[in-house]
A and B are shown apart, each in its own frame.
Chain A
Amino acid sequence: MSNRLIVSPSPHLRENTTTKTIMFDVAIALVPASIASIFFFKTPAAMILLISIISAVLAEYVVQKIRKQPITISDGSAFVTGQLLALNLPASVPLWIPVIGSVFAIVVVKQMFGGIGQNFMNPALAARIMLTISYTDRMTQWVEPGVDAVSTATPLTFASDFTSVQSGAPSFVDLAIGNIGGSMGETSAILLIIGGIYLIYRGVISVKIPGLFILTVAVATLLYSGFDIEYMLYHLLSGSLMIGAIYMATDYASSPVTPRGKIYFAVGCGLLTSVIRLFGAYAEGVGFAILLMNTTVPLIDRYTAPKVFGEVEKQNA
């Protein structure tokens, strides 16, 4: 009887949430977008997804084996990183690209900084940016959905650098369901939002970061175009805004902890994205914006830490 009395510090109410259940939820939320990518881009998409996930999990296993640390591949975080990275790649990339990306994400960005929870950037996104800088040609060969793999421009090209949507741009229906050129997983805005709603419903992410991120981009593009609703919607539904705002800006380890910090972080992401899209050399700014804001997180957390109860403001002596 005596050993059934457990003495422990609070909290005493325990939830069954573990890293494993959270990662499982994220993986489920990404399933619709993954299936859509296979549906639109056929076999290459399936191969890239598979190879990306396998190499991410394998990389984590090998690193932890070499460093004689407990193997944590069963918590699913490497699986999610591989899945996210694959959805960030164009379907036309050769199959060694996801391998290099996954290994970079897991070994350099995640494990070298101390493993899960210690990464200062989102591993999948850092890998995408690394690949984009290194292999710019291969990483920007967007293909039209279908077996023919005709190379094409992303819809964002029709809106970036202009103050209104140019003619010849795909329709909004195609934009929403994902029947457009672009990275495998970022094309279908609706499916990504459905996954995001599932995550919010399960309590894995709060609506604050994705909501404010997207809202900031909406306001900025609306102001820039002189209240052109069509132009604003184009910016919201194209590029990697949805996948970035919902799945990558919300990474626990690389986003602020404090409620006020989350607001600054999300608005900063939105502003940087808009500035890069509207004035920068790159058509897409979501990746750079999130990574830049990732590096400011320790600072944001420090300045937005809530006051300790009963604390008195320092008197100027």
Chain B
Amino acid sequence: MAHTGWVLTSEWTKIRSVRSTLWTLAAALVVTVALGMLISFLVRQSYDDLSREERLTFDPTFISFAGTSLGQLAMIAFGILVVSNEYSTGMIRASLTAVPQRGVLMGAKLVIATALALLVGMLTSFLTFFLGQAMLGDHRTDLGEPGVLRAVFGGGLYMGLIALFAMGVTWMLRSPMLSFGVLIPFFFMISSILANVEATEKIGDYLPDQAGSRIMAVIDDGERPYGPWTGLLIMLAWVAASLLAGYVVLKRRDA
């Protein structure tokens, strides 16, 4: 049977030897941090215009994560490319002849890609927090305040999980175009529209990104029916479902 250690090494070689995938990780970091800094800076400039109510729920940690909404798209792109590359190039045929145990191949790829996404996610999360706080000036918070470390650590987890979710969906859809076409509009528009329209708010709250991003908020604005860790669990359920669906498709269909 396939030697799991060998397959992990092989997947590590695959991921580090293709430039395009690594660029998406770099983009996720740069976009999240830069946008987070910009928005934090703008918020400081307009802090005096905020209403009393808005000041009461002012959450400097969450504000510094404002760049995540855009940066996560690069993380999703990473998740899509890592898997769809195999199919769009035909490499999957070489990969499966080398490792015919499809579950082992999928597992090894997920482990390596997710570890990398988590690492970059954590780095991004801490960077965006510190630099965002620097931009917020007098309105900043710090890692020692209650809930802040959880939010920053959670931000890193969120980035890793969103990439993993995209990988699961792509194992199912295979084609890069199809995966981008489904995932990017979903996270960029549909989820935020559903979550912000009153009629669909209840559904929107339970979407993976909406539920998962609750972990990055320190102050509970009372708009979500769940706490930070429950939110992350909801996201985890989505991730598990996408991976299961991806595995079933990989196992059943001809390569």
A, B: real partners: no
Chain A interfacial positions (CB closer than 8 Å to B): none
Chain B interfacial positions (CB closer than 8 Å to A): none
